[in-house]
Every structure is written in C-alpha cells, then in structure tokens.
Structure 1
Amino acid sequence: MTANFVPVILAGGKGERFWPLSRRHRPKQFLCLDGTGISLLQATAQRLLALAGGWPNLWVITAAPIASGIREQLPQLPDDNLLIEPEGRDTAPAVAWASLEVAKRYGDEAVLGFFPADHWIGDQGAFEQTLTAAIDFAQQTEAIVTLGIQPTHPATGYGYIEQGLVPSKSVGLLVYPVSRFTEKPDLSTAEAFIKSGRYSWNSGMFFFRAGVVLAELERHAPQLLQALREQGVEAYGSLEKISIDYALMEKTQRAYVLPVNFGWDDLGDWNALERLLPAQGANVNVANHVAQESQGCIVYASDPGEVVVTLGLEDLVIVRDGNVTLVARKDQTQAIKTVLKRLAQDDTYQSLL
C-alpha cells in the first residue's frame, strides 16, 4: 500500500462506440474484450488494489442506471465507497464530488487518483512504478499531476499535453510543468507535436491531494464546488455539464505531467481489438468465423454457438449480439453514436439501446 492514497474509478460512461455489445444495461466497462473473462472495470479495480491497500480504500463513482451492475461486478467494494450520480454531468462534477467525500473521510492530505474504468494497461509493474511516482509528487508538492501517454503515432482522436522545459524528479521519473493542453488536433498539427518530442496524449488519469484540488476548484469552478458543498448529490440537476479538463486542468497553474510508457489503450471503438488481440490469419476473430477470401475484418459474436461466414470482404467490423447485427467499414466506427441517436428517436428500437 502507498500511504494515504485513495484511488477513485470513474465508471459512469456509456461506451457507445462498442454498440451493440455495449448497451444501457451493459456499458463498455462491464465488457470483457480480451478473452480473459475479466471485465474492463474488474481489471481496473484489480490493478489498483495493491496501491490502495485493499477494498476499504478503493472508491467508484458511477451513474444511477448502472449502480446495481457495479455492485454485481465488484461485490467486495464497500457500499459507502460507491458514489452514485443521479445523472451524468461529465467528469468535473464527478471529480469534485468524490474529492469532497474523500476529504470528509480521510482529510485534506489524502492523495486521490482518478482512473477511467475502461482502459487497457499492458505492464502492471511499470504502471505501479508510475503511480508511486505520481502519488509521491502530489504528496510532496501542491501539484495536480496528470499522466501523459508517450505517443506512438500522430493520433487525431486524443487530447495532447505540452510539457514545460524544466522537469522535477519523483521516484526516478521526470515530472514536467504543463505548458498547455490541446484538444484533438488535425493530422498536420499532431505530426508536428510528435516531432517536437514535447507532447503526450492526455490519459484522463489525475493525482492530487484533496485539499489542493478543492482549493483549485474553489478558484476556477466556484459555482460547481459551492453547489456540491451545500447540497451534495442533490445539486446534480443544476450543475453544468463540463469535463475536468475544461473546468480545471486548462486553467490551473498547478498542472504537471508525468510522461509514461506502460502499455496503454483507451479502447475507443471496435478497431481497438486489432491492437488488443492477435490476428487469426488475416482477421481478428472473437467468434466462430469462417472466412473465404476475406481479410482485415474484425468479427465478434457474443454467442459462441453462432457462426459468421464472410465471402470476399475487406476491412469491416461485424458484430453479432442478441437481436442486432452491426456491419460497418472500419473507418466508420466513430459514427456509431450518430446511429444510436437516430435509433433513440424511434420507439421501435428502444430495446436495442
């Protein structure tokens, strides 16, 4: 256990780009995508337990419609450690509310870490070493530390963090002041970022002492913090829907970035299976897939008894779950959310969502 460390898992997301496997009652964090039988949420909890010192110090914040599913997935989690949002208001209210509740129980000196519930981590040892450094730096300073993923290619779907020029050192790792955050750049800008060597991908993982983040929220998002202090969870209906990046990280002068390389993927859509799983022949299969002159396809079937046959197909995502079959070009998977909005407008399709 790392002393005085309280990890909080952000588990309220929908993961709509993994539809039709991900649905209202079974969001992305409940899925097992790598064949281990362990869901993304369960894997996230397991990799944090040692540093937390066990289940009594691990917290989860989630949305009301899936709270019962969280309890089923994590039966060892104490009831008091599950914070239930009545409605999703993005990450700023979640971080602020959880920080207030942790401070009540552990005091302002407790170090919080926030972790998305649906990411993949490749190297547990390197992950724990990185967290130890981030926790130590947050304990010793007034910093708000974020983990920056060392980029492997000029991705346009991630936010980027530019590091300052004068680093500090924590447990053998370098921690840089943040120069700026940049949201999802175009390709040429992303290429320039990579070439400079000063940019990381924004991982969405943050570390800070409870008192530090509450003081910074008081300075940069006072209405949000005041509402939660006065009304608690009852304030949610009146809160602005805003991310912690916009509400705080892009405004604070206390932001630091720790560039890391422990094997990471945010599993943003079905194409992530090509990075996560080995190809079987010319395709990636999580199904009984009989391929004839087909290549570059990702095929998933939730029922192992179903057979998917492809003839002369290339670069498609094919997903079969229950009464829904998705067939999409791999370069169109980001448009799944648009399709879901369309389905939501027709009562005929409500059971599919």
Structure 2
Amino acid sequence: MDRPVIACVLAGGTGSRLYPASRSTRPKQFLPLVGERSLLSRTMDRTTFADERHVLTRESFADEIHEHAPEAGVLIEPDGKDTGPALVYAAWRLRDRFETEPVLVCLPSDHHVDDDAAFAARLERAAELAAETDGLVTLGVEPTRPATGYGYVVPDRTEFGEDSEYAAVERFTEKPDREEATRLLESEAYWNAGIFAWTPSALLREARDSPLAPLVDALEEGEPDRGFDAIDPASVDYAIMERASDVFVTPLSVAWDDLGTWDAVGRVLETDSDDAANRTVAGDALPIDASNNVVAAPGSHVSLLDVDDLIVAAFDDRILVAPRDSSQRVRDVVARLRDRDAF
C-alpha cells in the first residue's frame, strides 16, 4: 500500500466491570490479567506493522502509558466522552503526520486474541481496504455463542463472493437479548469488535453529518476544548457508524475476546491444574466440589466449597462476590461507589 499506516490504541477507560482489580487510579489496560504483561503492552505487540503508533488516553493516565508502550506517542483527550469524540479527535490530530494522508487503524487496548500474527495481518488488510474504498471499515468477529454482552454487525451477504473480503454493512445491532442474539448467530452476523480502519478525511467527512458535527467544526477552527464542551458522550458506533453511508465489514477469523468482564477473563485463562472447571487469575485457590468459578485474589488464599459459577475478586481492601452471569452488572457496583466517592 502506498499510504502510511498509523495505529491508534484506545486506553482512556477504567474498566469498571473488572472492579476491584480496576479502579479509578488503576485502569484495566495497565493490569496483567492474562499473563505477566499488561493488556496495553500486549496490544502494542500486535501493531508493530504500523509506521507510527499512538495511544489515546486521558490526562491522568498519560505518564504511565510510557511504562507499557515506551515506543508510542501519547494523545490526550480533552475530555472523556466515549469513543466517538475520542476517535474524531485522534483523526484530526493525526491526519497531517505524513505528506500522504495516512490510514488509521484504531483498536481498544483490552482485547485478547489467540494469534497475534494473524490478527496483525487482518489489521493490515483492513487498512488497505479503507484506502481502496475511502470508507469506514470495521472488523467483524465470527461468533462462537449467542453473546448478549457484544454488539453485532449484519453484513449485506449478497456482496460476499468467492473473491470478496468485505461487504457493505446492512445494520448494526447493539447488545441484544439472548433470543435476538441466537437469531443473529444463525443469520451469520458478526460480533462488533470495535476495531476500525479509515482515513482521517473519511471519518471526519462522516462525522460532519452526525451528532459530533459541532466537535468537527471546533476542531477545524483549532478549538478542541470548545468542541468537546459542545457535544454529549457517544460511542463511535452510535454517533457515526450506524449513520454513515460508506461502511464496510471484513471478517476477523481469529479467536478473540473482549476482556471487559471477569467472565471473559475466565474464558481465556488456562484451566486450573487442580480443578479443570475453575480459573485462577491471581492468588491461590482451593476448590472442593466447586466448579466454573473465577478467582482473582493476589497474595491471598481462597477456599471454594460447594459453590459454582462465582466471581471472587479481592484487591487491596475490596472484595467482590457475584455470579459469573452477572459480570456485566459489576458496573452497577461501581456506579454506587462513585456516588459515594469511593471508587
């Protein structure tokens, strides 16, 4: 490809569903949840093909970024207003880095993939497709179960031929109930991984016809703070992708998971050697007639007796006990703690 490629890694969130490991001063992207290295460090390994790499984060995390991604540039969001404003801001900041307009490959810092080389190859191909189509390209993950915690991408299947690697997006569907997720799985929809490729001009073009238009106008006038003040928080899917005219999906045929919940962390961990049904993130666990539990308690011992399908997470002076199928609701705990200024 004759265009430079810039990798933009999003690392501005805290990861509230991984409380109490993740806290306001200890976001999940800096944690070694599935190995000895942090999620951010492992993500950066998958972007070495890019001509430049940048991490997009909030000001309070900026100093720590260099410990996990010393080779990356750091972009600081003026305000944390979800992925839509963040990615528009990144496109504006990065579009003039080269004489030829670059392609941006944008990905979260908290995902797990089984094959880094195959993943990187698909990112490179997505960048080529973004240059070829002048559109917005999203990577779709082939689902393995009717997950209700992920959004879905429905492709126009009439455009997928033997030689075609991508298709127009028919529609996006936000986190469905189990019945709808089952229908989507049967219809060969993809999980929406939140991994994108586009040129800055393509994203800014589509953002001008979206709720983020005031931000684009302010950025073009060199006033990012005013732009962020003028808009509400919005995901890039809701604000731009669902409304855009030139949106394409290309399959990501690599085992993938979003490490946003304790249930997801449990899925990707190696099976515990003492009990094949339990997963230990950190600490020491003794399961007796216990199965399918996730234990995260660094420096502690946890005995599990006659219990199944639990999360037991103990960090610092905080302990969380919850059913695994309530992983998404851990954010409710964090919301209550934030109300008490205790997160």
Q: Same fold (TM over 0.5)?
A: yes
CA distance in 2, matches of 1:168, 1:294: 46
2:215 — aligned with what?
A: 224
| Deviation for aligned residue 1:271 | 0.9
Q: SS state of the match for residue 302, structure 1?
A: strand
Q: Does structure 2 conserve the Cα–Cα contact (< 8 Å) formed by 1:109 and 1:139?
A: no
Q: Would the alpha carbon gap of residues 146 and 95 (structure 1) be closer, same or farther in structure 2, given more than 3 Å must change? A: same
One-letter amino acid matched to 1:250: E
From 317, 326, 332, the equivalent of 1:338 is 332
Dislocated runs of 4+, deviation >3 Å: 165-170
1:203 — aligned with what?
A: 193
1:261 — aligned with what?
A: 253
CA distance in 1, matches of 2:270, 2:95: 44
Q: 1:306-333 CA deviation, whole Å, 9 max, x = no partner?
A: 2222222222111111111211121222
One-letter amino acid matched to 2:87: V
CA distance in 2, matches of 1:210, 1:190: 33
Q: SS state of the match for residue 157, structure 2?
A: coil
| Deviation for aligned residue 1:168 | 6.5
2:165 — aligned with what?
A: 174
2:95 — aligned with what?
A: 103
One-letter amino acid matched to 1:76: E
Q: Please tell me whether residue 58 in structure 1 is matched to residue 53 in structure 2.
A: yes
Q: SS state of the match for residue 221, structure 2?
A: helix
| Deviation for aligned residue 1:223 | 1.6
| Deviation for aligned residue 1:169 | 7.9
CA distance in 1, matches of 2:221, 2:265: 44
Q: Does structure 2 conserve the Cα–Cα contact (< 8 Å) formed by 1:156 and 1:187?
A: yes
1:14 — aligned with what?
A: 14
CA distance in 2, matches of 1:227, 1:322: 43
Q: 1:245-267 CA deviation, whole Å, 9 max, x = no partner?
A: 11111111100000221111001
CA distance in 1, matches of 2:327, 2:157: 38
CA distance in 2, matches of 1:201, 1:32: 25
1:44 — aligned with what?
A: 43
Q: Does structure 1 conserve the Cα–Cα contact (< 8 Å) formed by 2:110 and 2:260?
A: no
CA distance in 1, matches of 2:107, 2:2: 16
CA distance in 2, matches of 1:2, 1:60: 24
| Deviation for aligned residue 1:3 | 4.7
Q: SS state of the match for residue 318, structure 1?
A: strand
CA distance in 2, matches of 1:246, 1:108: 30
Q: Would the alpha carbon gap of residues 324 and 60 (structure 1) be closer, same or farther in structure 2, given more than 3 Å must change? A: same
CA distance in 1, matches of 2:200, 2:340: 45
Q: SS state of the match for residue 158, structure 1?
A: coil
2:307 — aligned with what?
A: 313
One-letter amino acid matched to 1:191: T
Q: Would the alpha carbon gap of residues 107 and 243 (structure 1) be closer, same or farther in structure 2, given more than 3 Å must change? A: farther
Identity of aligned residues (%): 36
CA distance in 1, matches of 2:175, 2:2: 34
From 323, 330, 333, the equivalent of 1:329 is 323
2:177 — aligned with what?
A: 186
| Deviation for aligned residue 1:144 | 0.9
Q: Would the alpha carbon gap of residues 312 and 146 (structure 1) be closer, same or farther in structure 2, given more than 3 Å must change? A: same
TM-score by length of 2: 0.92
2:288 — aligned with what?
A: 292
CA distance in 2, matches of 1:98, 1:108: 17
1:142 — aligned with what?
A: 134
Aligned residues between the structures: 337
Q: Would the alpha carbon gap of residues 163 and 154 (structure 1) be closer, same or farther in structure 2, given more than 3 Å must change? A: same
| Deviation for aligned residue 1:134 | 1.0
Q: Would the alpha carbon gap of residues 169 and 117 (structure 1) be closer, same or farther in structure 2, given more than 3 Å must change? A: farther
CA distance in 1, matches of 2:166, 2:292: 40
2:202 — aligned with what?
A: 212
CA distance in 2, matches of 1:297, 1:165: 39
Structure with the larger helix share: 1
Gaps of 5+ in 2: none
2:266 — aligned with what?
A: 274
Q: Please tell me whether residue 31 in structure 1 is matched to residue 31 in structure 2.
A: yes
CA distance in 2, matches of 1:232, 1:205: 28
TM-score by length of 1: 0.89
1:247 — aligned with what?
A: 239
2:69 — aligned with what?
A: 74
Q: CA RMSD in A?
A: 2.0
Q: Would the alpha carbon gap of residues 283 and 159 (structure 1) be closer, same or farther in structure 2, given more than 3 Å must change? A: same
CA distance in 2, matches of 1:126, 1:72: 26
| Deviation for aligned residue 1:2 | 8.3
One-letter amino acid matched to 1:25: T
Comparing 108-117 with 5-14, which one deviates more in the overlay?
A: 108-117
Q: SS state of the match for residue 46, structure 2?
A: helix
